[in-house]
Structure 1
Amino acid sequence: MRRNRAETDASQTKLSRRAALLGGVQLLFMGGLAARMNYLQVDQADQYLLLAEENRINIRLIPPTRGEIFDRNGVQLAQNIPSYRIVMVREEAGDVEEVMHRLSKVIDLDPEARDRAIAEVKAAERFLPVTVADNVTWDELSRVSVNAPALPGVSPEVGLTRVYPRGSDFAHIVGRVGRVSKTDIDAQEIPDAVLRIPRFQIGRINVEAREEGLLRGVAGTKQVEVNATGRVMRELSRREGQSGADLQLTIDSKLQNYVQARLGTESAAVVIIDCENGDLIANASSPSYDPNLFIGGISSADYDPMLESKHRPLVNKTVQGTYPPGSTYKMVVAMAALEEGIIGPDDTVYCPGHVEVGGRKFHCWKRAGHGWMDLEDSLKQSCDVYYYDLALKVGIEKISAMAKRFGLGIRHDLPLSSVASGLAPTKAWKRETRDAEWVIGDTVNASIGQGFTLSSPLQLAVMTARIATNRMVTPRLIKSIDGIEQPSGGGEPLGMNENNLRKIRKGMHVVVNDRRGTGYRSRIIAEEMRMAGKTGTSQVRSITTAERARGVSRNEDLPWERRDHALFVAFAPYDKPRYAVSVLVEHGGGGSTAAAPIARDVMLQALYSGEPPLDAYPTADRERIAEQQKQLRDVQPQATIKGKDQA
């Protein structure tokens, strides 16, 4: 059948539209394909050529910059300084041993260091840069660069090295860093990739270790182009990581230095705490050591003497060391009795020099006895028999509960290693740990801070601050993180009877300021700075009946290890407490002779924010103190404050 003209025209129109649509789609496809080919073949030609030539574009980790640590005034305690180093990438080096052999001819590498570097390169991931030489000189760096064609996979770098400009003053606070070990990696469920970089350093002890998460930061990455020999030609792209946080401690570095110098060669510890906010402004353990010795790996010649020393320089005695608190514990027993209403301040106990309990004699330190003693006199003269009597009336459970309210027998949360809990023993504790029942003699021993009772110098400082303020003062070591102030340790009210605490404080005042007080020779003369305190002496050996009969041996006649520990705690000023201090001198003998003079000196240094005037001391001491100040003045180091040197 013939179509009319109208039908033919309509059919041709439809075909033309379909052809146009199909042609448009084809043109669009071809245009897109051409654009993509242009992008790949022209715009990205260089990169894809390199990818085709044995994947010569590598991605490498950029170690983050470790956060720095400062004292409360901005003095640098842990900083990063530039250092030159030589690194090697195994996949680019090829024959690692041959390349290391060539490198040892370019720079000075002893055989032991070379063998260690070879082992580290072979053990590392094939794409990771491994440091094979640390702290090289500029001349050595230049020689490596010149000989780069003969050293495939080897390249010089500028990195950062951790240093501690205040040396031994802060070893027991800031701590130190060390290289990552396999144990460190295995200990983490999902290890940070940056830890796999050989010779990467992390915190080992104290603040460096406890605040590792804040200080380390986050690694970045970079994409580098290398040639056929493995030499880096250029950096293609970089994603910066995140630097670690800067920490500001509560410690005053100038006071810390003075305290360390004042302790000298003693095996001792000093803690000074701010009564208002709990800030630790000094936390010194003596003897100390230089943490910089550990950065690149310490030698046996340096390490063995520290390990073998009977004065234990590697131990932080302020928080790790626990000792019988001796007579400094008497305030705990007295407060427990006062709060229970068992005694009044005017009640007296007769001291004949000993008391017999359960068929055993417990002696007072004064063999002839003190006679009639009330609370104030018992603290002033440190009568033991008075506290034997109190303890038998109060009982060990209430004494231990009071000790914990004062901060003893509990672990304080500080970013320091191995912070000890001490011990405020109870009947249940002895039953569980010693499989034995508590006996009455245990209570008598505990009343004078002996027997099972143990405290650290930190805990004794906290106890003293709480007595001085009637608040739950909590020690604080981190003042701010990246400039953000951290919570105060001022604490809530303890809720103790203030009148009872005033009696305890008055007793501590006469200890130091009354002529018959055991701490009188270490008093402060300046009226506005008067100090209240308590001496303590803790035995480390048993005194036999035979020895008592012939006369107890003097400390100076005994070997050092068998002498008594000397302790002293104090707060000042008496009328408005600002600081509390605790001093422990291991095997120092008497607290009044060994510990109290140190406490008086460091307290004055804190109160005056520097060297105190001589008229703050008793007249008889001023000539000696003037000479002592002159000697200690000479050991003050230079301090770096945010890039500036300041004395």
Structure 2
Amino acid sequence: MIWGSVVNKPGSSSRNELRIALVAAAIVFFFLLLAFRLWQVQLLQGAEHRRLTQRQSIRPVLLNPARGRIIASDGMVLADSISKYDLVAHLSEMRQPGRVGKTISYVLACERMLAASLGREAGLTEAKLKRHLYQHPVMPLLLFADLNAAELAKAAELSPPLPGLETVPRIERGYKLPAVATHLLGFTGKKLPQSDGLDEEFSRVYVSPELSGRSGLERRYDELLSGKAGARLLKVDSQGYVYEDLRQGLAPSHGNDLILSIDSHAQLAADAVLQGHKGALVAVAVHSGAVLALASSPTYNVAGLTQRRFQALLRDQEGRPLLNRAVDGMYTPGSIIKPLIALAALEQGLIQPEEEYFCSGRYMLGNHAIRCAKRSGHGWISLQEAVTYSCNPYFIELGIRVGIDRLQEYFKAAGFGQKTGIDLPESSQGIAPERDYALRHWQRNWLAVDSAYISIGQG
């Protein structure tokens, strides 16, 4: 007998069933794991994957807001946002078949032709064009800035035959009187715009700089004047070229206007008085404290202020045109301090209004003489006459009687050594005379001659 009967060994059937069960369990576990992963990717992480996919194909381009106006109390607009026009190229519409080199050659040839037509100098280089193509393909490429009326008309003629060209407005800061109230208004520079609700990565790449206050009221109220940038959404291909404008996004929120207490006529008069001189002039409404005019000289023309011009102004150490002498200059007060000295003496009971003092034309401190404006002297004069004639010896006598320790209390109460509170970022706080000042700065004790000079506003 060739074939024998098959005899199952005891327990072999159960082992086979166990193997089959283990394989089946492994298969079931694998499919359960796969199902869980699909559920995790599609449901739990679906929104994130969709966002990443959109990030690769949708690019927001930030739209700069218009900066708020600065307006005088009588309605004159001192600073405004004005539109200038640039000729730009949309490279996605100028692409040539084949390698990127063909597109570069074509755009450079177009730029040279446009330069000849507009009477401008061709400034686009291959390196600049390549950098723009690789870093900012979505953004239009600036070809020519600040087109005048004739150039705008010529650009309109050239645009249809050359696809991809566009004349676009650009917001700049304009000043009604560019050499007036310069230190008060200040000037602007460029910064990256801020916008709510936009992805930070996009905001850093597809932007054009917006205006930012760098000095004066432009800086102090920059947040109020600036507004918030908006955005338009564009679809791009894998190389970053635009193929569809989605016509949606976020509209820019324009800046707020700033209305001043300044009277434009008073400001013009103040600047005119100072022209050709070095100094400052401030006109204040007596009862309200409102500043009606604030001028400093030498000044400068803020229109078209470039980095090169700014550096030249910064190097001018003789005229120092960038210094706002009205709020940032450090000066001795002069004779306007004398009524305060009189007040201190009266309140301390050291003098009576009718009491007279003999002015010989000078005040002697040892061998040191401090002269009066009237060299022959005023003779016997009362407090009222001393104020009227601004008599130096009279107020020196009062200051020495009061003494520096009590005088410094009056100086501080009058605001010396403190900022005035004017809303300009460049303001200084000045110095309040005190006994310790001599020790800190001159390495000696306070002397009677120091009290004498500060009592006539010359210390």
| Aligned-pair CA distance for 1:211 | 1.0
- How is 1:421-570 mapped onto 2 (pairs within 5 angstroms)? 421-451=429-459
Deviations 1:532-590, CA, capped at 9 Å, x for gaps: xxxxxxxxxxxxxxxxxxxxxxxxxxxxxxxxxxxxxxxxxxxxxxxxxxxxxxxxxxx
Q: Which residue type is aligned with residue 272 of structure 2?
A: A
Shift of 1:348: 1.8
Q: Which residue of 1 aligns with 2:222?
A: 212
- Alpha-carbon deviation of 1:446? 0.6
Task: Tell me, yes or no, if structure 1 residue 78 matches structure 2 residue 76.
Answer: no
Shift of the alpha carbon at 1:342? 1.4
| Contact 2:234 2:242 (C-alpha < 8 Å) held by counterparts | no
Contact 2:392/2:456 (8 A) holds in 1 = yes
Where does residue 222 of structure 1 map in the other structure? 232
> How many angstroms apart in 2 are the aligned matches of 1:428 and 1:191?
55
The answer to whether the Cα contact below 8 Å between 1:226 and 1:234 also exists between their aligned partners in 2 is no
Where 1:291 maps in the other structure, the secondary structure is coil
CA contact (8 A) 2:92 2:243 kept: no
Residue 243 of structure 1: which of 240, 246, 254 is its match?
254
**Structure 1 counterpart of 2:412, which letter?**
K
CA contact (8 A) 1:255 1:282 kept: yes
One-letter amino acid matched to 2:232: K
The 2-side partners of 1:115 and 1:332 are apart by 71
Q: 1:299, CA displacement in angstroms?
A: 5.7
| Counterpart residue identity of residue 390, structure 1 | L
Secondary structure, in 3 states, of the residue corresponding to 2:214? Answer: strand
Q: CA deviation at 1:218?
A: 1.0
**For 1:264 and 1:293, how far apart are their aligned partners in 2?**
21
Aligned to 1:201, which of 208, 211, 216?
211
CA distance in 1, matches of 2:383, 2:458: 20
2:386 is the counterpart of 1:378: yes
1:254 aligned to 2:265?
A: yes
Counterpart contact for 1:129–1:197, Cα < 8 Å: no
Point out the more displaced range, 413-422 or 122-131.
122-131
Are the equivalent residues in 2 in contact too, given 1:61–1:194 (CA < 8 A)?
no
Residue-pair matches, total:
389
- Report the AA paired with residue 387 of structure 2: L
TM-score (norm. length: structure 2): 0.72
Q: Report what 1:175 is aligned to.
A: 186
For residue 362 of structure 1, the aligned residue among 367, 370, 388 is 370
Residues in 1 aligned to 2:357 and 2:126: alpha-carbon distance in whole angstroms: 75
> Residue 64 of structure 1 corresponds to which residue in structure 2?
65
What is the one-letter code of the residue matched to 1:238? G
Checking the alignment, whether the CA contact within 8 Å between 1:69 and 1:247 is kept in structure 2 is yes
Q: Which residue of 2 aligns with 1:521?
A: none
Question: Structure 1's 102 and 352: CA in aligned 2 closer, same or farther, altered over 3 A?
Answer: same
Moved more, 249-258 or 88-97: 88-97
One-letter amino acid of the counterpart of residue 429, structure 1: Y
**Contact 1:70/1:77 (CA < 8 Å) preserved in 2?**
yes
Q: Which amino acid aligns with 1:444?
A: A
Q: What is the letter of the counterpart of residue 295 of structure 2?
A: A
Q: Secondary structure at the match of 2:253?
A: coil
Within 1, Cα distance between the matches of 2:454 and 2:176? 44
Deviation of the 1:243 alpha carbon: 1.3
Which of 325, 342, 366 does residue 350 from structure 2 map onto? 342
- Deviant stretches of 4+, over 6 Å: 88-97, 111-120, 122-126
Q: CA deviation at 1:428?
A: 2.3
Contact 1:67–1:215 (CA under 8 A) maintained in structure 2: yes
**Counterpart position of 1:158:** 169
In the TM superposition, what whole-angstrom CA distance separates every residue of 1:471-496 from its partner, at most 9, and x where no partner exists? xxxxxxxxxxxxxxxxxxxxxxxxxx
Alpha-carbon separation, structure 2, partners of 1:116 and 1:133 = 17
Percent of aligned positions with the same letter in both sequences? 26
Distance in 1, matches of 2:386 and 2:445, equals 30
- Alpha-carbon shift at residue 86 of structure 1 (Å): 3.9
The answer on whether the counterparts of 1:260 and 1:285 sit within 8 Å (CA) in structure 2 is: yes
Distance, in Å, in 1 between the alignment partners of 2:348 and 2:202 is 55
Is the CA contact 1:206–1:417 (under 8 Å) kept in the aligned structure 2? yes
Q: Deviations over 1:141-175 (max 9, x none)?
A: 436744654x6xx7542222210012222211111
* Equivalent position of 2:338 in the other structure: 330
Q: CA RMSD in A?
A: 3.9
Supply the distance in 2 between the matched residues of 1:261 and 1:337 (Cα, whole angstroms): 40
Paired residue secondary structure (1:342) = coil
Spell out the pairing of 1:273-312 with structure 2 (5 A cutoff): 273-294=284-305, 297=306, 300=309, 304=312, 308=316, 310-312=318-320
Distance 1:326 1:267 in 2: 17
- Work out the CA distance in 2 between the residues paired with 1:236 and 1:316: 47
**For 1:89-117, what per-residue CA distance to the aligned partner results, in whole angstroms no more than 9, with x for missing partners?**
89998779754664344246546787997
Cα displacement (A) at 1:298: 6.2
Following superposition, the deviation at residue 362 of structure 1 comes to 2.3
> 1:425 offset after TM fit, Å?
1.3
* 2:334 partner amino acid: G
Mean Cα deviation higher: 411-420 or 228-237: 228-237
C-alpha separation in 1, matches of 2:201 and 2:291: 34
| 2:85 partner letter | Y
Superposition TM-score, scaled by structure 1 size: 0.53
In the TM superposition, residue 303 of structure 1 has moved relative to its aligned partner by 7.4
Q: Give the CA deviation at 1:387.
A: 1.1
How far 1:324 moved relative to its partner?
A: 1.6
**In the superposition, relative to structure 1, how do residues 326 and 196 fare at CA in structure 2: closer, same or farther (>3 Å)?**
farther
For 2:180, the aligned partner's letter is D
Secondary structure at 2:276 match in 1: coil
Cα separation, partners in 2 of 1:83 and 1:126, compared to 1, 3 Å: same
| Structure 2 counterpart of 1:478 | none
2:266–2:292 CA contact under 8 A, matched in 1: yes
Once the 2 structures are TM-superposed, how far is the Cα of residue 121 of structure 1 from its aligned partner? Answer: 4.8
Does structure 2 conserve the Cα–Cα contact (< 8 Å) formed by 1:124 and 1:196? no
Is the radius of gyration larger for structure 1 or structure 2? 2
Q: Secondary structure at the match of 1:222?
A: strand
SS at match of 1:429: helix
3-state SS of 1:59 partner:
strand
8 A contact 2:191–2:209 mirrored in 1: yes
What is the CA–CA distance in structure 2 between the aligned matches of 1:356 and 1:116, rounded to whole Å?
A: 77
Deviates more, 1:116-125 or 1:348-357: 116-125
**Distance in 1 (alpha carbons) for counterparts of 2:453 and 2:203:** 55
Letter in 2 for 1:160: I
- Cα deviation for residue 435 of structure 1 reads 4.0
Distance (whole Å) between structure 2 residues aligned to residue 195 and residue 226 of structure 1? 14
Residue identity opposite 2:152 in structure 1: W
1:254 & 1:119 partners in 2: Cα distance?
A: 53
